[in-house]
Amino acid sequence: MKKLLFIFGTRPEAIKMVPLIKKFSSRKVFKVISCSTGQHKEMLDQVLDFFGVVPDFKLNVMKADQDLFDVTSSCLLNIRDVIRATKPDLVFVQGDTTTAFAGALAAFYEKVKVAHIEAGLRSHDRCSPFPEEINRCLISKLTDYHFVPTKIAETNLINEGIRDNIWVVGNTVIDSLFLGLNIIEESQDRAIESKFCEIDFTKKVILVTGHRRESFGKPFEQICHAIKEISQKFDVEIVYPVHLNPNVQKPVKEILSGIKNVHLLKPLDYPEFIWLMKQSHLIITDSGGVQEEAPSLGVPVLVTRTVTERTEGVRAGNALLVGQDRSKLIKSVSDLLVNQSSYIKMTKVKNPYGDGDAAGKVMNVIEKKLPDNL
């Protein structure tokens, strides 16, 4: 049996790793080992419970008042011990987190091959997003098998001198989205809907998320002021699950609290969030995952970032880069609410991030690359 070690630490990583873990676990020739660093412990555990995945290793690296030095060193040392204990044939990392970088570096130090899921994303601004852009560039230098979501991501790697072992497979986040919505539908459980009883779904719903550190301060305040003006200008329901970071909590509560049609919620569990995305008329976000998921639901995305590594959605027309400019955000939302042709144009474009079979494509490649005993 070939031993495959899957390393993840945040909720987005877990969401995108779950389809792979399930797909490889269905083949008896693979021994699947999963390791959670616990970089986002509570939010991460909820996703794993929803999909029925139990990690073999839970490292719990997060401590109070840590900085990037602490998290990186703790992940690196703990993952080293897991690799030495399990002796995997291949280590999978996903995306651009500190967990992913530390996992790839630890595997490299232990001379274990690395497979990078969602490889090749680039904003071409080393400080935005921070530190993710540098993480993903460094991971690419440590990786043996590059699984990219799109041709643009492949081109990014080629332009950096990486030309071998690149496969365009789509993004596993779409696999998880469809899997999660099927679980919700098959359960026929109305508990999720009942959690949003204060929201009038007969009106157009605008879903808002925000958490990027490069937006903290004045830029974030401008976004909040724009949302406030939109709530006053239009008869819509604005739903905002507020990130727990104090740099998000403070401006959001100061500017948006007490507005009747603005619903400030605690962070949502994954099934609640994808259900709410499906009900939304449009989404305002700085999230990378949402930029990838929403097009599969036919929901336009306004991206509150100055640059994005998810350029495919912008080029295709699923997403619009609006930055943190108050007037531009208001104008863009107004256009989508009033101009039906603008709205339809953004909803009818095929999702450039795939059709929901990325995990199967990855497994087909690995079966050929690790052929012994298959």
Read off the pLDDT of residues 303-351 as tens digits, 9 standing for 90 and up. Answer: 999 888 888 899 999 999 999 989 999 999 999 999 999 999 999 888 9
Structurally, the chain folds into a number of domains equal to 2
How do residues 36-56 score in pLDDT, each as one tens digit? Answer: 998 877 778 889 999 999 999
In a domain, 10, yes or no: yes
- Are residue 238 and residue 364 in the same domain, yes or no? no
Residue 373 has pLDDT above 70, yes or no: no
In a domain, 315, yes or no: yes
The confidence score (pLDDT) of residue 372 equals 66
d(CA 39, CA 8): 8
Instruction: Please identify which of the residues 27, 110, 193, 213 carries the catalytic annotation.
Output: 213
Token representation of residue 24: 């490889």
CATH number at residue 231: 3.40.50.2000
Is 357 a catalytic site residue? Answer: no
What per-residue confidence (pLDDT) applies to 97? 95
Q: Are 233 and 334 part of one and the same domain?
A: yes
Cβ–Cβ under 8 Å, residues 286 and 209: yes
Shared domain check, 270 and 160: no
Q: Which of 27, 80, 225, 243 is catalytic?
A: 243
Distance, in Å, from the CA atom of 356 to the CA atom of 162, rounded to the nearest integer, reads 26
Length of the chain: 374
Q: What percent of the chain has pLDDT above 70?
A: 99
Q: Which of 13, 132, 133, 293 is catalytic?
A: 132
Q: Is residue 87 part of a domain?
A: yes
Same-domain check for residues 361 and 307: no
Q: Is 211 marked active-site?
A: yes
Judge contact between 148 and 119, C-beta under 8 A: yes
Please tell me whether residues 273 and 363 are part of one structural domain.
no
Asked if 126 and 166 sit in the same domain, the reply is: yes
Q: Is residue 259 included in any domain, yes or no?
A: yes
Determine the 3-state secondary structure of 35 from DSSP.
strand
Q: Select which of 11, 40, 116, 118 is catalytic.
A: 118
DSSP 224-252: HHHHHHHHHHS--EEEEE--S-HHHHHHH
Assess if residue 181 is contained within a domain: no
Q: Is the pLDDT of residue 181 over 60?
A: yes
Provide CB contacts within 8 A for 338, sequence distance 6+.
none
pLDDT class for 7, splitting at 50, 70, 90? very high
Q: Are residues 98 and 236 in the same domain?
A: no
Residue 284 lies in a domain: yes
DSSP state of 215: G
Catalytic-role residue among 45, 70, 200, 211: 211
Average pLDDT value for residue range 118-143: 94
Q: Domain check: are 93 and 148 in the same one?
A: yes
Task: Name the least confident of 35-39, 117-121, 297-301.
Answer: 35-39
Q: Are 286 and 324 in contact (CB under 8 A)?
A: no
Buried b (16+ CB within 10 A) or exposed e, 204-215: bbbbbbbbbebb
Same-domain status, 249 and 315: yes
Q: Is 335 a catalytic residue?
A: no
pTM score, whole prediction: 0.88
238 and 162 inside one domain: no
Distance CA 26, CA 20 (A): 10
Catalytic residue (choose from 11, 13, 40, 96): 96
Residue 178 belongs to a domain? no
Domain enclosing residue 41, as ranges: 2-170+356-369
Q: What is the 3-state secondary structure (H, E, C) of 304-330?
A: CCCCCCCHHHHHHCCEEECCCCHHHHH
CB contact at 8 A, 115 and 135: no
At 145, the pLDDT band (50, 70, 90 cuts) reads very high
Residues 262, 342: one domain? yes
Residue 60: the pLDDT is 85
Q: Are residues 96 and 149 in the same domain?
A: yes
Give, rounded to a whole angstrom, the gap between the first and last alpha carbons of the chain: 8
132 as an active site residue: the answer is yes
Whether 290 contacts 301, CB under 8 Å: yes
237 is catalytic: no
| Whole-number pLDDT of residue 270 | 92
Cis amide prior to 371 (ω within 30 degrees): no
Query: Per the domain annotation, does 43 fall within a domain?
Result: yes
146 is catalytic: no
64-68, 166-170, 232-236, 299-303: range with lowest mean pLDDT: 64-68
Is residue 188's pLDDT more than 70? no
Rounded to 5 degrees, φ, ψ at 13 are -60, -45
Residues 49-86: pLDDT tens digits? 999 999 999 998 888 788 899 999 999 999 999 999 99
